[in-house]
Structure 1
Amino acid sequence: MRQRPSVTDVASVAGVSVGTVSNVLNRPDRVSGPTRARVEKAIADLGFVPSASARQLRAGVAQSVGAIVLDLANPFFTSVMRGIEDRLAEESLALMVSSTDDDPARETHFLRMYEQHEVRGILVTPVGTDHSELAAVRDRGTRVVLMDSDGDSAFPGVSVDDAHGGHLAVAHLLDLGRRRITFLNGPSTIRQCLDRLTGARRAVVDAGLNPDEVLTERVLPALNADAGEAAAHALLALPRSERPDAVFCVNDLVALGVLRTLLRAGVEVPQRIPVVGYDDIGFASMLMVPLTTIRQPTHQIGWSAADLLLRPQPESLAQVRFSPELVVRASSVAAG
């Protein structure tokens, strides 16, 4: 394998000192035009790439940011990452990303790893509500911003009103006349899942109905399409009198699995069972039966979280909160 060219190699080819090469890279105005051109030609000929870590050590300012999310395989988080990247690109900063898979041990591992890399700061969608590890990282000098999370004023953060989102979804199904609604949810240790359930139950109460009679929660072992498919099979195995007449899914991936199973079983969607998802990820509008869903401003979540991280310290505890919106498509309302 060819050895990576060094600053010393560039200086040798250009016939200048290492200090002159450094000036061309970092303070080109200090170098005369002919000398700068000679160094730039040597850089191009050798294929030299400056070391970001070395430049960071010289400048004393980190050039990267870490992000820790629940599941990068979920397109929701992919879109959030794009928002982060767009904001960081304005400052020429790099992004490192990790998934916790809702595992506190993995979250702690990646927090330590990013600290060791001396990142500018860490954006975290936390696992659970115990933020002691995050506080320890912050107290050691690394800025921490909570992302798609809520309820801890000790950290700056970006959140979405998920209780309102759950309310929108179930109120929509109630408006369609549905009275046996199943909510396919994740564990209550995930704040978003708990808030969406709270909003869903409140929608039933606001309609003058008993949530224990109208709304049934099923907690899934994973928040992906396979789990949605398995849950839909279980619902179809119930006696017809006990089957739901509507399904609200905690995210669009779960809804995809539900739709796939219902359609394969010959169940008419939305006539027999309307389906509502959550997130409005890219494929939601492209399905054979386009998915009604609760839209979250994913790009803005990421952009705003990165922006909070880069703000001056006096603004370090700022909070940004977004409101989701209902997007009605064919999975809940048949074309007239």
Structure 2
Amino acid sequence: MATIKDVAKKAGLSVSTVSRYLNNHPYISDDKREKIRKAMVELNYTPSSVATQLRSKKGTMIGILVSRITNPFFSYLVDSIERQVKLHGYNVLIMQTYDDKHAEIKMLEMLKQQVLAGLIMCSVEGDPAVIESYREFGPIVLCNEQIPSTTIPQVYTNQEKATYDAINFLIKKGYRKISYCTGGSLTQGGHGNARTRGFEKAITENQLQMKIDWIFKQVHTIKDGQEIAKKILALPPENRPDAIFTSSDEVASGILQIMMGAGKKIPEDLAIMGFDNQPFTAMLTVPLTTISQPVEALGKEATNLLMAHLDGINYQIDHSELNLELIIRESV
């Protein structure tokens, strides 16, 4: 079955031009219209009814890109964005990438094909330069992602400082063998780098060890946390960390579950710190020390910034509520 890409190739035109033709865009020359019509006839191409319906709603649809909607942080963030978007008369289309940059490109292509009026990216996996190239098709805003080298509008918190302060808090409490978990891959410019910089800075300044057995990457879920705890328990007692900073409350709760199931005391045998301050963290068997994120403010500011770009006006981000806070509980 022929696709819109096949039609574009046959007509010798871009996919976006064919998309505009299918959406009855007025600014397409007669010769291009004829090339597209002939290509569609020759290929026996029939536009997807779903895609056509989506294109017809282009003016009212905003894309939201997240890594995993099952992560409570992203669930609350999407909820905040959607409530704000609807106040402006728009609807949302949500896509999960599962940390796959190819899935990210699919969402960007929907902006290019005029399915979306704008896009809020709450996770970034690909090359910022590639993302920037899609801005000609509609406004893009990064939410909870900080990329210093890009000109893409961004709404973010200072996660490097928050992590640096959190690690120093652990050190002041007497912990010296500190393990680290990240949702990223520890590659330059990758996901979670701001937190990694904060961790490394605190460890280096205090001249502490960073053992490879204490570093865990690309971890996101409760199950990931359970596996981390099993790996820690498999280490000789003298080589185990005495504290662990995790990338999310889900990972932290998985670690907590396995450690307590193994008869370990928290925080005496292992201090555990989460990130996000999800509602369940105060109700765990050992309430979790964590870092609270201003989810509501992130969603509100990202949406306001995107709407300003859609309207062609300036918007000054309100940074007064974009603060991270260490929530101290019994797990440390």
TM-score by length of 2: 0.75
Q: Of the candidates 86, 89, 98, which is equivalent to residue 86 of structure 2?
A: 89
Secondary structure, in 3 states, of the residue corresponding to 1:160?
coil
2:304 maps to a residue whose letter is D
Task: Please report how far the alpha carbon of residue 330 of structure 1 lies from its aligned counterpart in structure 2 after TM superposition.
Answer: 1.3
Structure-2 residue corresponding to 1:72: 69
**Separation (CA, whole Å) in 2 of partners of 1:163 and 1:175:** 18
**Separation (CA, whole Å) in 2 of partners of 1:158 and 1:197:** 19
Structure-2 residue corresponding to 1:201: 200
1:331 maps to a residue whose letter is S
Distance change >3 Å, CA 133–CA 204, structure 1 → 2: closer
Structure-1 residue corresponding to 2:186: 188
CA contact (8 A) 2:219 2:247 kept: no
What 5-or-longer segments of structure 2 have no aligned partner?
1-51
Distance change >3 Å, CA 103–CA 213, structure 1 → 2: closer
Task: Please report how far the alpha carbon of residue 115 of structure 1 lies from its aligned counterpart in structure 2 after TM superposition.
Answer: 3.8
2:179 maps to a residue whose letter is T
CA contact (8 A) 2:180 2:215 kept: yes
2:132 maps to a residue whose letter is A
Task: Please report how far the alpha carbon of residue 69 of structure 1 lies from its aligned counterpart in structure 2 after TM superposition.
Answer: 1.1
Aligned length: 274
Q: Of the candidates 255, 259, 284, which is equivalent to residue 262 of structure 1?
A: 259
**Separation (CA, whole Å) in 2 of partners of 1:88 and 1:131:** 25
Structure-1 residue corresponding to 2:274: 277
Q: Of the candidates 125, 138, 142, which is equivalent to residue 142 of structure 1?
A: 138
Larger strand proportion, structure 1 or 2?
Answer: 1
- List per-residue Cα deviations over 1:169-207 (Å, max 9, x = no partner): 21121121011111122312474522112112222344x
- List per-residue Cα deviations over 1:85-117 (Å, max 9, x = no partner): 121121121111111111111100122134435
**Separation (CA, whole Å) in 2 of partners of 1:239 and 1:216:** 11
Q: Of the candidates 219, 222, 228, which is equivalent to residue 222 of structure 1?
A: 219
Distance change >3 Å, CA 221–CA 276, structure 1 → 2: same
**Separation (CA, whole Å) in 1 of partners of 2:150 and 2:103:** 24
**Separation (CA, whole Å) in 2 of partners of 1:91 and 1:127:** 25
CA contact (8 A) 2:216 2:228 kept: no
Secondary structure, in 3 states, of the residue corresponding to 1:109?
helix
**Separation (CA, whole Å) in 2 of partners of 1:215 and 1:278:** 22
Task: Please report how far the alpha carbon of residue 215 of structure 1 lies from its aligned counterpart in structure 2 after TM superposition.
Answer: 9.4
**Separation (CA, whole Å) in 1 of partners of 2:101 and 2:60:** 27
2:331 maps to a residue whose letter is S
**Where in structure 2 are the equivalents of 1:164-183 lying within 5 Å?**
164-183=161-180
Work out the percentage of aligned pairs sharing the same amino acid.
27
Secondary structure, in 3 states, of the residue corresponding to 2:209?
helix
Asked which structure has the greater RCO (Cα within 8 Å, sep 6+), the reply is: 1
Structure-1 residue corresponding to 2:303: 306
Secondary structure, in 3 states, of the residue corresponding to 2:235?
coil
**Separation (CA, whole Å) in 2 of partners of 1:320 and 1:154:** 19
**Separation (CA, whole Å) in 1 of partners of 2:212 and 2:201:** 11
Q: Of the candidates 285, 288, 291, which is equivalent to residue 288 of structure 2?
A: 291
**Separation (CA, whole Å) in 1 of partners of 2:155 and 2:288:** 26
Pair 1:248-2:228 in alignment = no
Most deviating of 164-173 and 241-250: 164-173
CA contact (8 A) 1:184 1:248 kept: yes
Q: Of the candidates 154, 158, 168, which is equivalent to residue 157 of structure 1?
A: 154
